[in-house]
Structure 1
């Protein structure tokens, strides 16, 4: 899971938006400030151009091994297009019938209900911590459409008013998302299977700040209060 916010990416200007939810895949280059080699490899794998080049690698290898075949191979673009199509549509994606088999309908519904419940709880706590009393927050969870690979999940908190924006998240809010959104009972792979089944890869959960409970606001105040020294 990558948390996407102006203070977690190297290109915050790319997150500017006029409406929410802002779609990120295929529209924004995600350049996280902190990510390991595995995360970067998964991000690069989602770049279409790089996947196309990877699919065409056998042709390049054949040209290097057998130079005399370089010209005939270069004159066969249809084969190249067919190979790219097979990899993209048959290997990395599922047919409509195959999508129904990745997860049971009831299990998919439970996964989405769990996501909505956890997202609402997290948004309530964020609104309380920030002292928001009006407007609506959105927790946007977007996953890559590619099947048969490790899911790539982008999570952001967005707001429609007073101006549409992807919110910057402090360390505590980021830790909250990492600890509570995907935990026991719902992981990224399960959500990805539910998304594959429905062919929907952007999930937007909205929460009206007016709905923050007094208990949540009190808890936020207590968390924000400086620790007092305990007398010896």
Structure 2
């Protein structure tokens, strides 16, 4: 999540940290493929509601005798929407508990925190940030049984709450957050278990070593040359 990857960058503006996105703003990613656009469309609540109600549109077209009863059944429509939202697209409390064991969940969160802080130190060094606190915010959609949708942003509180502009190298650093050992789906299982879909990992900028800052300076010089 950065002005380099989001077309409607005004949605990145914030007055408080951590900045949340799901259910609050509509995202328009730059250069997104069809699969990502379809996944974002599924995230729109109105679209899901209308999709669930398609049978109530199709049945009257196929049978005139059923047209009036179907169109005058608002309670049935609410039941269908609730079933799709709560049973099809989300897990029950028991299902969330079975998603992953407690010990494995703790291991996955520790791995995420370790990777996140390492990435934040590199990004702080590259951007010359020496004061304040950087946060790596990982937000996931709570919808289950479909492809996970994960939003990653670097947020900082100095000189005011904001989302950091991330170039290609920054995004490459963040790409190591997930791999075969810790996938987006692995993290989503933990989030389902705890019913918590945003992870906020902080790193003090002053804790970044001088060696890391020097390495970032030399890297930029090498790239410029």
Q: How far 1:227 sits from its partner (Å)?
A: 6.0
Q: Deviations over 1:73-108 (max 9, x none)?
A: 111000000000011111111121211101111111
- Distance 1:153-1:13 versus aligned 2 partners, 3 A rule: same
Distance 1:184 1:125, change over 3 A: same
2 CA distance for matches of 1:193 and 1:12?
A: 30
The answer for the alignment partner of 1:67 in structure 2 is 64
* CA distances 1:148-203 after superposition (whole Å, capped 9, x unpaired): 1111000111112211111111111112212x111232110000001000000000
Match of 1:77 among 67, 74, 77: 74
Higher helix share: 2
Q: Secondary structure at the match of 2:98?
A: coil
Q: Is the 8 A contact 2:131 2:158 kept in 1?
A: no
- Aligned to 1:182, which of 175, 178, 190? 178
Native 8 Å contact 2:131 2:205 kept in 1? yes
Residues 64 and 206 of structure 1, relative CA distance in 2, 3 Å threshold: same
Could you tell me how far 1:67 is from its partner in structure 2? 3.2
1:6 deviates by: 1.7
Cα RMSD, aligned residues only: 1.4
Q: Is the 8 A contact 1:141 1:202 kept in 2?
A: yes
5 Å matches for 1:2-41? Answer: 4-41=1-38
Distance 1:126 1:70, change over 3 A: same
| Pairs within 5 Å for 1:40-119 | 40-119=37-116
The answer to whether 1:135 aligns with 2:132 is: yes
1:222 aligns with 2:210: no
Partner residue, 1:199: 195
Calculate the TM-score normalised by the size of structure 1: 0.93
Gaps of 5+ in 2: none
Distance 1:72 1:207, change over 3 A: same
Q: For each residue in 1:30-84, what CA deviation from the matched residue of structure 2 results, as whole angstroms up to 9, or x when unmatched?
A: 1101211111111110111000111111111112212342222111000000000
